[in-house]
Chain A
Amino acid sequence: NAGVTQTPKFRILKIGQSMTLQCTQDMNHNYMYWYRQDPGMGLKLIYYSVGAGITDKGEVPNGYNVSRSTTEDFPLRLELAAPSQTSVYFCASSLRRATSTDTQYFGPGTRLTVL
């Protein structure tokens, strides 16, 4: 079991460039999440997905897009990179039983710098 994997680990983008952050989990989890972490700000939820084909916005979705074509993969797309998107991005997943709150498992993160 690899758990939650993210690629790339590091990336530098120029303003206006696009890229996709990849996230894959092999735990057959239904729920997946994308967070960004800025210094001293904790984690903010960007988008989440409750299953293949279903996604919804989190707290800070502007400038990002997601898709969930399979249970395993949940890529995050940046269309026009801006310096404000410089951050560390974490993907997470949870099994999510019907009425309980399940533990979220996190990937190692992608450190993105936009210059």
Chain B
Amino acid sequence: SQELEQSPQSLIVQEGKNLTINCTSSKTLYGLYWYKQKYGEGLIFLMMLQKGGEEKSHEKITAKLDEKKQQSSLHITASQPSHAGIYLCGAGANAGGTSYGKLTFGQGTILTVHP
């Protein structure tokens, strides 16, 4: 089965600093999702990457999927307290329909941003 490993497990940064969270897969990634979770709330969809080399940005958050499709990174530029939360990566099992859209998740990265 596919496993996702996120690093670091937790991160504390000063407001305004840049940071990167990594997600490494034991198998080829087909559909890599990034979600953000605030304590006591559900998961909010951030971005999805499918193609090797793909890069997407939303406001100050950029996600990349490497060419070999086994690692993704999430980069936050000029972090703000509103970026604080738990970031999770999730991946589909395979490219076809037999996975029924099931996702495997990493363990999450807890981000704290000090003002």
Chain B CB within 8 A of A31 CB = yes
Q: For the complex, count residues of A whose C-beta is within 8 A of B.
A: 31
User: What residues of B have a CB within 8 angstroms of the CB of A79 in the complex?
Assistant: none
Chain B CB within 8 A of A102 CB = yes
Q: For the complex, count residues of B whose C-beta is within 8 A of A.
A: 31
Where the two chains meet, the residues of A that have a C-beta atom closer than 8 Å to any C-beta of B are 4, 31, 33, 35, 40-45, 48, 50, 56, 58-59, 90, 92, 94, 96, 98-99, 101-109, 111
Say how far A30's CB is from chain B's closest CB, in angstroms.
9
Partner of B107, one of A35, A42, A90, A94: A42
Where the two chains meet, the residues of B that have a C-beta atom closer than 8 Å to any C-beta of A are 1, 4, 9, 30-31, 33, 35, 40-45, 48, 50, 88, 90, 92, 95-97, 99-108
Inter-chain contact B107/A41, CB cutoff 8 Å: yes
Instruction: Give Cα A84–Cα B92 distance, bound, in whole angstroms.
Output: 27
User: What residues of B have a CB within 8 angstroms of the CB of A92 in the complex?
Assistant: 43
Inter-chain contact B43/A106, CB cutoff 8 Å: yes
